Structure 1
Amino acid sequence: MRLSTVILPIHARAAAVAHWQRAEQLGFHTAYTYDHLSWRTFRDGPWFDALLTLAQAASVTSTLRLGTLVTTPNFRHPVTLAKDLMTLDDISDGRLTVGLGAGTDGFDAAVLGEPPLTPKRRADRFAELVTHLDLLLREGDVSVAGEFFTAFEARTIPGCVQRPRIPFAVAATGPRGLRLAARHGQSWVTTGDPTLEEDATAEQSRASIARQVARLEAACEADNRDPASIERVLLTGFLPDDAFRSVAAFEDVARAHAELGITEIVVHAPIPDTQFAMDEAVYEGIAGLAPSLADV
């Protein structure tokens, strides 16, 4: 199991540089950031652009992988996104992963004035984003027309440093999203089961994740893909586990999810007085588990 972190894009340059460099020094596999225009309780505070944040992170690190968790079509178009990602892959010398999700009806869904979409229509739009982006990052000259997105002689030259393209980490729990992950994803991302009640237990959460993994594997098999060829990423912070009270508690949670088939577990860098508050010593201790978890 790999151990990664999330650094929210809330820090001005000096503090941000320190956070990204610290993530590399602590030995995390990947450091991700959220790709939103605003987010929940952070809506009225500092919040910087995700892709420019990753460009800055790439310039001050050398081995740490970087990525988004996740980029959505709420305010991204595949043509311009492909150009941005190609550039980031070059800046980072091939250290980039792009997380992709359908987007919700939250804060940045309405900021451009678009009418709200039903879950089905969001799934339709997401399918177009993923399939168009896959094509744009693989080929240098693309024309494709869709219901939501169109590209006319779009150039993505010289292409990605990573071949055949930047890895996709596809966030999904529904059947259509899981099929997209199976067909286009190098990784699949879950935050657990969003339909569970607030008083759900850790056992109920883990049972739901086990069912998600089983559905992912079935989608891979239906697409004639080896299920072992796709990584399974768990973004923590939204589970009914008290994982961050101690290093030992986190290790127990990580190992329990490894048994479910999770291959990468992602921890938020501590932010005091928020839902991501954590003792800094615990965070550093969690990072120190990376060598032992690598064998799980």
Structure 2
Amino acid sequence: MNRASIMYQLPRSALDTLISHLRRYIMTNPTPSVLLNGRSTACSGLCYVELNEGTTPYRQDQDIYPLLETPEVEIQRRLTDAKNDFEPVASRDEIVIWSKTDNIRVSEVRCIRIEIAGQPYLIEPSSDQQELVLQFAGKQAPTGIDAHFSGSLRLDTEATQDKTLIDTQIPNLSIYGTPQFQFRVLAQLALLAGQPALRELLQSARKGDPQGERLILMQLYAGNNAVHGQGWDPRTGVEGATAITSILYDPYAHGEDAVTALFTVLYSALVDLSVGDPTGEVAFPD
């Protein structure tokens, strides 16, 4: 006699009691969370990147550790070191989360919990210096999701083709593109200590007239990407903005050094801005 036949011979009351106990067990013993610790460097797929040594003394070493990749979520740890003539000058340590699901909770104890197909994942930074970057692809972030978060968290939403313009705390410098593109540019601006000439130009730009000409960095349309968003189509223009315009190509294109492109176009545009000749369009060549 198999187990199924034994169960069917149980009295109805006993079967109901058994089912009740099973439900209680499931509710009180949920699927344990998988911890994705920002301290780990044991993940596969390590990537090493540096700038073209022939064009600039500034170099960037970036180690990318894939922590999780599913159709709904991609999580990476990114360690970035900026160097000038081989001397380390700045660094960043980030956990970047691209999410197509809003089944996410941000706790007060500096953790992010994501549930994917019934399996919860807990993302925990390894130090106070490590930043969490949470980016919702094609979705609005749940209201107040970061209201009680006590650590360092950057929250981006709506990674779609729709236009988005953000400030950079520099009066005449703005970024125009998807949140992921903005994140990419902001990450490089944070490492400007590695490029003294460009840093001086940005400092001089801060002294300019906030109501004057603006430099807007724009993302070239990147096509459809399920995780990183579609990008931005420059043919739509920037309505109502007086600006020097810099257009960057797709920062996620394979084989392209978007970091070199960023510094090249920033430097060229800011030279014009600093000498009071904000004319025309500064575009990175195809």
Q: TM class, shorter-chain normalised? A: 0.3 to 0.5
Higher relative contact order (CA 8 A, sep 6+): 1
Could you tell me the TM-score, scaled by structure 2's length? 0.33
Structure number with the higher helix fraction is: 1
Structure number with the higher strand fraction is: 2
Could you tell me the TM-score, scaled by structure 1's length? 0.32
- Structure label with greater radius of gyration: 2
